[in-house]
Chain A
């Protein structure tokens, strides 16, 4: 167990280094110069060559590529990405504030959608080809097909404009959370329900289910202790992966509801080549993935005894 965690941590570290190098190089190799776009915005005219090189040297954008990589690695592992080229504010302070707003949406949606999807998926598998199963499958297909932004706007029209129950956008009060979270939950419940149902059906056709029935065990027990218990592995894997999807989905939802999360911030940064912001974001997302994967791996060990004993 200890060995497993240490190995995973080392792999995680390696992933972080690679991610940081990639985020560093890709941006420098990509066309477009931040100095040019920032100066154009400030002065309203095309900047001269002298202005551009002055801006670049002031903001540490010129110089030898390798020395910059070294500089960047040091910064990256202190999680200090300097100041935004635009606002001049430290990247991390702004970032953490916005990340917290995004994480709230992501985590709450995850917390609501996971148990609901599991209940619906398990029930659908238990009642395969009955009405409940058909209805849940049709609904989840619809849920998967609706684009986030469309659902967000649709909810806004109904609850904010027509019924006037909820504020259309904003941040802070509990009412502000309702529509963004519903929007995020719909797709998440829809896809997770399908995964749970499919995994359960697969496990329900295993030999040990017949053994359990042959032992005269109750249907509910067979469903939970035999089928669901064995479905946990795939479900946890999917949840780990879908956390990233939720974060990405949040970007769209944030834009629709003017939510002050990382989404809009990042899109702006990409447009204006605000390197420190983009690199900070890439590093933090990479860190999230590494941590989530580590958690998933550790959970696996508890879920599946076959892994527990394999790795000691």
Chain B
């Protein structure tokens, strides 16, 4: 069953510098139990997309297009309706575990509140259940009453994951779950997420710029650049037959492939180039690329790319 589907989704912000098109004409979907990983540079719109699903963006945001959760258009949902969905059916693991947890509240209390609110549990059973979830996520039993600042970075991230799991939501959004962690701890966190997706058959929307994390967790991958999805496909398609010059560049830039960076810098979202957003950095750019933006081309049923190379 299709859980999330975005059609021609646009998200933009009003700012002093002008309209910022953080997400532009994005089409994507997540099916039941499926892991979709969004890869992109900082500022490519991955987090905005995740926060759009949760509808947690600041008030200067505007939406166009459609974003369905089952048969509900989320961008038309009222704040009240969203309050009912958040935590219960849509859960998010925020970035920056240290600042994302209330410094004046123990990690168990965070979970207890959510369980009381969404599962209607009394204090005692919510507390028991919270302890259970925290231990399952790998927090030592004697540390479940700790505050965020007392935990190590890895345990903090686990606490945040536990909070995301508290209510057995159908969708779990994980925003850079391995950011700022030691490599060994990163591996543990990735394994934990893998276990969750295998055991609970949960659909996950994972945001990262780490290709390794993507390879370990994804069923499908979407490559984002300047608010657009330039290429999307199954893990195999993206890693074995990448099509878009940007995707190829990303893979070539990986240390294991010789660390060849893509030339230039990501364009400003306020002042995007004419035509294809990637053409100023693209070795294959033609006059056509500079004139108009390519539509999405289907390479296979699952592999889609926005590049004129595919059309010709």
Contacts and interface: CB of A to CB of B under 8 A. Distances in A.
The 8 closest A-B pairs by CB, nearest first: A216-B87, A216-B86, A207-B99, A215-B87, A208-B102, A214-B92, A207-B100, A305-B147
Contacts, number: 82
Given A214-B87, A215-B86, A215-B114, A305 B56 contact: no
A214 to B, nearest CB: 5
Interface of B: 54, 56, 82-88, 91-92, 94-96, 99-105, 110, 113-114, 117-118, 147, 149-150, 160, 163, 166
A300 B86 CA distance: 33
A101 interface: no
27 contacts: A208-B102, A210-B56, A210-B100, A211-B102, A214-B92, A214-B94, A215-B86, A215-B113, A215-B117, A215-B166, A216-B83, A216-B86, A216-B87, A216-B114, A216-B118, A217-B113, A218-B117, A225-B105, A225-B113, A226-B102, A230-B104, A303-B104, A305-B103, A305-B104, A305-B149, A309-B149, A309-B150
A46 to B, nearest CB: 67
Contacts of B105: 225-226, 229
Interface in A211-239: 211-219, 221, 225-226, 229-230
A41 interface: no
A207 to B, nearest CB: 4
A223 to B, nearest CB: 13
Nearest to B84: A216
Most A-side CB within 10 Å, residue of B83, B91, B100, B104: B104
B99 A208 contact: yes
Contacts of A207: 94-96, 99-100
Given A210-B56, A211-B94, A211-B163, A216 B102 contact: no
A130 interface: no
Nearest to B114: A215
Contact of B54 (A214, A226, A229, A230): A214
A171 B100 CA distance: 54
Contacts of B110: 211, 215
B109 to A, nearest CB: 9
Contact of A210 (B94, B117, B163): B94
Given A207-B100, A214-B92, 18 more contacts: A207-B96, A211-B102, A213-B56, A214-B54, A214-B56, A214-B94, A215-B113, A215-B163, A216-B85, A216-B88, A217-B113, A225-B105, A225-B113, A226-B102, A304-B104, A305-B104, A309-B147, A309-B149
